[in-house]
Structure 1
Amino acid sequence: MTMPLHLLQEDCWSHIGVSGDRSCPELERHVHCRNCPTYVLAAERSLQRPVEPGYRAEWADRLRVSQETEEIRDASALVFRVGPEWLALPTPVVHSVAPLAPVHRIPHRTARALLGIVNIGGRLAPAVSLAELLGIDERQTPDIRGRHQFARLLVVEAHGQTFALPVAELHGVERYCFDALLSPAASVERREADYFRGVLPLPSMPAGLLDADRLAHHLTSLLR
C-alpha cells in the first residue's frame, strides 16, 4: 500500500498544506490542515516530547524564590497633572472624572483656592484649585508634545462633601507598594509638604501622593 503524500513529511502543512504550495490531496476533503488527523497527531507528539533538563531546572529555581521577596502592590492611586507637577490621589477618595464645566464665583468668598461652584451632572459642587492650595505655579508648565492632553475635573469626596478639582491631564490609575513610597523632595516647602504622604516612584513621572485626610481637612475648611 502506498502511503499518502501528506504522511511522508512530519511538517507537511508547511510544504504541501495551507502554509505551503497547497498541493496536498487531503485539502479537498479537510479544507484546512488543522482539520487533518496528521496535524492533530503532530500536535500530540509535540506536547508529549521529553522535557529538557535545563527547562526543569529553570522552573525549579523560579519556584524556589520566596514570595516575600516580591514587591506587593497593596494600594492604588489616580495620577494626574496640575501645571508642571504630577500628583496622585488614593483611589478610594476619587468619586469620578468629569469634563470641564463653567465655574461660577461665590460672592463674599476671599479664599483664592476656592474658585466657585460648578455643575456636575445636575449637582452643584465647590471647585477648588489644587495649584493655589499647593503653591504650584501653572505658568511654569513646559511645552508638552507627542501626546494628547485633556483637562478634566476630578470629583472627590471629603468628609461627606463633594469637591471638583480641575486638572490639566490624567495619566490613570497606578498600583503601588505603600512601603516603597519615597520621601518628598527637600526643596518642597514645609507647608506644601504637609499635604503629601510621599512620592510614587513611577518610571517616567514620579508623582507626589497627596494625603487624603489632610487634603479633605483643607478642602472643607475653605467652606467655613
Structure 2
Amino acid sequence: MSESGCWNLIGVAGDKSCAKLAPLVHCRNCDVYAGAAQRSLQRPVSDTYRSEWAAQLRQPVAASDSSDTSALAFRIGREWLALPTAMVSQVAPQAPAHRLPHRGGNGLAGIVNVGGKLAPAISLAALLGIDERDAPVRSGRHTFARLLVVNWEGQPFALPVADLCGIVRYASKGLTPPAATINRGMQRYLLGVAAIDDMHIGVLDASLIGHQMMRLVR
C-alpha cells in the first residue's frame, strides 16, 4: 500500500481496514500520517506562491475601529444631537402633550400618553435654547417628528424630536469641542461633537440631562 493518502483508503476516511488503526484509534497518531504531513510542509514552493504572499504581507495594516460608544442620534431644529442608547427605551409616534396646571416653562411641556402610559414630556428645545423655527426644510419617507422615550433613575420621559437618524457609534476619545457659535445653554449639556460621515452630532451629557429632567418634575 502506498503511503500517499492511505488514510483516505484504509484509514479513518476510508474503509478502516488498516491494521494500525485499532491500537492508534486515529490516523493522526500514525507515523505514516505524520511523515506525510512533514513532507507536505517541507515541499518546495513556487515563485508565484512566494510573490502572492509577499504582496499580501506588504499591504498596510487596516486601522482598527476605535468606536467604543453607541448613541441614538436625533434632530431638534437644525441641531443633530445624541443620547446613549442605554438611556433610550423606545421611539413612539408623536402625540400632543397635555399641559399641567401651574406647571410649565423651563422645558416641562406637560404629560403625554405613550402606549397607554403617562410620561412627562420634556422639550429639549426649551431646555437647550434651540429655536425650532430655525429648521431646514427636510423631506423624505422617514423624515417626520417622533417621541423619544428615555429612562432616568426609573422615571420615563418623552422627548419630542423633529427627525431621527438612528443608532450611531463613535470614539469617546475622539469627541471635539463644540463650535464657539453654539449657544451657551446647549454648550453646558454637551460632552463634545462626534463627526460621523458628513454629520456633526452634539453628544449630550446623559447625567446632566437626566438630573435636569428630574428637577423639572419635582
TM-score range, shorter chain: 0.7 to 0.9
User: Greater Rg, structure 1 or structure 2?
Assistant: 2
Q: Aligned partners of 1:204 and 1:84: how far apart in 2? A: 15
Question: In structure 2, how many angstroms separate the alpha carbons of the residues matched to 1:73 and 1:162?
Answer: 28
Q: 2:204 aligns with which of 210, 218, 223?
A: 210
Q: TM-score, normalised by structure 1?
A: 0.71
In structure 2, the residue corresponding to 1:149 is in which secondary structure? coil
1:57 is aligned to 54
Confirm or deny: 8 A CA contact 2:110 2:122 kept in the other structure: yes
Aligned to 2:113: 119
Structure 1 match to 2:174? 180
Superposed structure 1 runs of 4+ greater than 6 Å apart? none
Shift of 1:185: 1.0
**Structure 2 CA distance, aligned partners of 1:60 and 1:206?**
36
* 1:95 shift after superposition: 0.9
Q: Can you list the C-alpha shifts for 1:71-90, whole angstroms capped at 9, x where unaligned? A: 42111011111111111111
Per-residue deviation, 1:123: 0.9
Amino acid at match of 2:53: R
Q: Does 1:133 align with 2:122?
A: no
Q: Say if 1:54 and 1:118 are closer, same or farther in 2 by CA, change over 3 A.
A: farther
Given that 1:111 and 1:222 are in contact with CA atoms closer than 8 Å, whether structure 2 keeps it comes out as no
Q: Any unmatched runs of 5+ in structure 2?
A: 1-45
TM-score (norm 2): 0.73
Matched with 2:97 is: 103
Q: Deviations over 1:163-196 (max 9, x none)?
A: 0000011111011111111111112233321101
Q: Which of 164, 167, 182 in structure 2 is aligned with 1:170?
A: 164
Matches within 5 A, 1:67-82: 69-82=63-76
| Sequence identity percentage | 50
Q: Distance in 2 between matches of 1:138 and 1:158?
A: 25
